[in-house]
């Protein structure tokens, strides 16, 4: 009888723990970064503190959370290494608040910085102990000329493309696959991360106003639908300096493609979303797309007519 009661209690505790693990809060943030690194940190810190106070176990900051420079020279001069002051301040913040952080796009000095003055665009995951547990370096660089839209950016002029994807990271809200901004346009990346166990995909971004208005929501929803993952996309919004503005609308999308949260396109803020991993498993079970996928040879070959 005693063993039976202990077993029953243990079973109930295990179920409660599972429920707690499958239902957790994520904060998806929207900021307006400028070349002022101190002001940017202060704004992001305030959002992280608010998110923690409201129950978030993980907070997502966008690409360029550290700064957005007004010129190539300024962008390079403000860059740091992973052991520099900026990342150190965020590791201390994560440890102090007992919260996980996704730092969506950090200007990291490259391995030959002293000779070539080139950087990585790096997505950093920090755990609640203040440890860096993963670094993904953006692999698709935004080199786009859209004269009719007033868009002209050449990221490769000073940025090194990352050499590989990184394995999805186990976090308190689920297993997260990492991308950055322009990576969103490449479904091969999201499908590869899903095959390696991702339950959540994240695309911290600084979309231009023109491309954001045309493509932002539809791309995020498409990535969620095709992988049957949650998609979380922190975003830059508004005027960074006289030469650049961002679209905003930080979004959270569920595995069915439904938008769960939207920060709008006007000002900084955050949206809190419940991550229920049962939605991932039920969506995949009810529509087993990955089981229906043919092998890679099938898609590589197209019959000639």
pLDDT of 105 above 60: yes
Kindly state whether residue 152 falls inside one of the protein's structural domains.
yes
Q: What is the pLDDT of residue 22?
A: 53
Q: What is the pLDDT of residue 98?
A: 98
Please write the tens of the pLDDT for every residue from 162-205: 999 999 999 999 999 999 999 999 999 999 999 999 999 999 99
| Of 146 and 141, more confident | 141
Average pLDDT over residues 5-24: 46
Kindly state whether residue 2 falls inside one of the protein's structural domains.
no
How far apart (Å, rounded) are the C-alpha atoms in residues 163 and 138?
9
Q: What is the pLDDT of residue 149?
A: 73
Q: What is the pLDDT of residue 16?
A: 43
Kindly state whether residue 146 falls inside one of the protein's structural domains.
yes
> Which residue numbers are catalytic?
63, 138, 181
If residue 134 lies in a helix (H) or strand (E), which one and from where to where? Answer: strand 132-137
Q: Determine contact, residues 230/23, Cβ cutoff 8 Å.
A: no
* Total domains present in the chain: 1
Give me the half-sphere count of Cα atoms (radius 13 Å) on the Cβ side of residue 15.
6
Kindly state whether residue 5 falls inside one of the protein's structural domains.
no
Q: How confident is the model at residue 154 (pLDDT cuts 50, 70, 90)?
A: confident
Q: Is 235 helix (H, G, I), strand (E, B) or coil?
A: strand
Report the CATH number that the domain containing residue 241 is assigned in CATH: 3.60.110.10
Other beta carbons less than 10 A from residue 38's beta carbon: 8
pLDDT of 103 above 80: yes
Give me the half-sphere count of Cα atoms (radius 13 Å) on the Cβ side of residue 303.
1
Kindly state whether residue 156 falls inside one of the protein's structural domains.
yes
Q: What is the pLDDT of residue 262?
A: 98
Kindly state whether residue 174 falls inside one of the protein's structural domains.
yes
pLDDT of 107 above 50: yes
Q: What is the residue range of 259's domain?
A: 25-285
Please write the tens of the pLDDT for every residue from 56-77: 999 999 999 999 999 999 999 9
Kindly state whether residue 20 falls inside one of the protein's structural domains.
no
Q: Is 64 left (phi over 0), alpha (psi -120 to 50) or beta?
A: left
Kindly state whether residue 31 falls inside one of the protein's structural domains.
yes
Token pair listed for 68: 């957005």
């Amino acid at each position: 009888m005693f063993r039976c009661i202990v077993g029953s209690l243990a079973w109930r505790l295990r179920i409660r723990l599972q429920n707690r693990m499958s239902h957790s809060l994520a904060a998806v943030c929207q900021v307006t970064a400028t070349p002022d690194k101190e002001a940017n940190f202060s704004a992001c810190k305030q959002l992280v503190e608010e998110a923690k106070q409201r129950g978030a176990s993980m907070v997502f900051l966008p690409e360029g959370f550290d700064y957005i420079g007004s010129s190539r020279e300024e962008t390079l001069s403000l860059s740091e290494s992973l052991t520099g002051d900026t990342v150190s301040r965020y590791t201390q913040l994560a440890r102090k608040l007992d919260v996980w952080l996704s730092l969506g796009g950090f200007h990291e000095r490259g391995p030959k910085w002293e000779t070539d003055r080139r950087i990585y665009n790096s997505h950093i995951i920090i755990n609640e102990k203040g440890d860096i547990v993963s670094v993904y370096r953006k692999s698709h660089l935004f080199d786009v000329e859209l004269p009719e839209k007033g868009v002209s950016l050449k990221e490769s002029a000073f940025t090194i493309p990352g050499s590989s994807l990184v394995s999805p990271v186990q976090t308190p809200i689920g297993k997260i696959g990492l991308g950055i901004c322009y990576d969103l346009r490449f479904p091969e990346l999201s499908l590869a991360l899903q095959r390696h166990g991702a339950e959540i995909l994240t695309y911290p971004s600084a979309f231009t106003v023109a491309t954001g208005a045309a493509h932002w929501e539809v791309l995020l929803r498409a990535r969620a639908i095709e992988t049957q993952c949650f998609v979380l996309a922190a975003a830059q919004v508004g005027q960074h300096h006289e030469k650049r503005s961002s679209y905003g609308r930080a979004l959270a999308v569920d595995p069915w493609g439904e938008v769960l949260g939207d920060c709008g396109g006007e000002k900084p803020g955050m949206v809190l979303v419940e991550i229920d991993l049962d939605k991932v498993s039920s969506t995949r079970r009810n529509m087993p797309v990955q089981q229906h996928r043919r092998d890679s040879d099938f898609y590589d070959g197209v019959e000639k007519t």
